[in-house]
Chain A
């Protein structure tokens, strides 16, 4: 569905951009595109939408060039931006009319459904909507024409947990219908929930593409522990540190083992959490170096 080949975008003075990025997204899959802020996610998305032009390389959607065939591509693309900027003075209804006015085919029933599911008041002015409601509107305008490809750029920012849940349900429904989804985010855990594969981008370069299954099975936990006895580091404990009487390390092995081991140290406090993206990178680099 998406084929990005050696894409390079260099902005005038700014070093940020993307460099020699290649990736393919298969039809019908949900592809997570993750990386810290400023890594080049938005640059990639903007290239797909032809808001910006590639310095070198190319991007194709369904075999069509993102620069030359941009118009045709957009007939089958829906886009939800990270920050919503719509025409504040328009009513929701008028805005949707305008938005779908660009499309030849729209699914009126589906739009009504979405408005109902998301519980959005269409008579209100966009300017008076809360962030969450604006996001709902963004979802509807991106889906009403039944796109074959959905491009999401940090779509859950500003959504409360309940709405996030609804949103992910909509995504899963879309996937069932065969929609391909390109999901850009800096939060690995939210991408994990729905994605089939994940591409990790850092400093404008694609670091790794992995299936979510692999990541989860490979993923280490972050352990923070306070004990009354001193811990002796074992081989499975990566990135081992002791700050203020608190040990932190990453652990990849069977957790049962670890708990048994730790119980002998007389635990005062124990936190087991998902490591941040940065830490996964570290973990990844370390394991790569070892290999």
Chain B
């Protein structure tokens, strides 16, 4: 399995660097801008009062929500969403392509002629997905650490949650994409579907916030599981964590079970 992991890590390294630069860079930019906005924040917040309550709620700015006057609230509104959206996209692309690429480019015929089991191929690839997403968020956590120390009162738990809650969010998309790619082996097709999920579920999240009658939808969207308001209030909910773990584990395990029985007919 070491051979597979090494190979896959190298193969996906460039895209890891690229996406990490974009995600961490954009967040860092937002964080650096905080001091400039801090002083004029009062006026801005007054402006928000004129907006509909539901709308503010959707962006985490409602009652008991984020306060853009401090660094955590600022990041929750201005940086964290990018991490979720762009990080989600990266994980969807990674999860969609890492397995399907072998069949799409027909290299699987080579790979399976070697003494390596399908189980090792699957888990080697899953390992690299987890490793890459972990590295992305690790780098993010370093940037966040310095920002939170410099621009606010450092809160360890909030820092940890802001740093690694997105990892769970990304793993949900990566694992679902991975599962889809067991059945649809055209990489482009899987990527389209997965990116559709990343955007689509964000829309579901907004809808669940805008109208009370659609509130139940929040259980369907990974954006809700790790939302910034819960993080700032140190209040990640157990039920969400449970759903997250079940979805990730089930997607990966089912991928493995189906892949082990699958005819490869490239």
Q: Hey, which bits of chain A sit against chain B, CB under 8 A?
A: 11, 46, 49-53, 70-72, 74-75, 77-79, 81, 83, 85-89, 98-99, 101-103, 141-142, 151
Contact = CB atoms under 8 A, between A and B. Distances in A.
Contacts of B108: 51
A77 B113 contact: yes
B153 interface: no
B110 interface: yes
Contact of B115 (A71, A81, A85): A71
B107 interface: yes
Contact of A87 (B107, B112, B113, B117): B107
Contact of B107 (A71, A75, A85, A101): A85
A85 B263 CA distance: 18
Contact of B109 (A78, A81, A98): A81
Contacts of B264: 46, 51-52
Interface string B1-33: 001001100010000000000000000000000
A85 B114 contact: no
B265 interface: yes
Interface of B: 3, 6-7, 11, 105-110, 112-117, 261, 263-265
A70 to B, nearest CB: 7
A71 B117 contact: yes
B113 A49 contact: yes
B112 A98 contact: no
A183 to B, nearest CB: 16
8 contacts: A52-B263, A52-B264, A81-B110, A87-B11, A99-B110, A101-B3, A101-B7, A102-B116
- For the complex of A and B, the 4 pairs showing the least CB-CB separation, nearest first, are A85-B106, A79-B113, A101-B3, A102-B114
Contacts of B265: 11, 46, 51-52
Give the interface SS of chain B, mostly helix, strand, loop or mixed.
loop
A235 B241 CA distance: 85
Contacts of B117: 70-71
Contacts of A87: 11, 105, 107
B112 A86 contact: no
B116 A53 contact: no
A289 B11 CA distance: 59
A103 B263 contact: no
A142 B261 CA distance: 25
Nearest to A141: B110
Q: Specify which of B115, B117, B261, B265 lies most central, judged by the most chain A CB atoms within 10 Å of its CB.
A: B115
A91 B112 CA distance: 20
Nearest to B120: A71
Nearest to A76: B115
Contacts of A46: 264-265
A165 to B, nearest CB: 25
Given A52-B264, A85-B110, A98 B7 contact: yes
Nearest to B106: A85
Given A70-B117, A72-B115, A75-B115, A85 B3 contact: no
A103 B115 contact: yes
Contacts of B107: 85-87
Contacts of B11: 87, 89
A40 to B, nearest CB: 13
A12 to B, nearest CB: 9
A75 B264 CA distance: 20
Nearest to A98: B7
Contacts of B109: 51, 81, 85
B18 to A, nearest CB: 15
A86 B115 contact: no
A75 B114 CA distance: 7
B114 A74 contact: yes
Contacts of B261: 53
Contacts of A72: 115
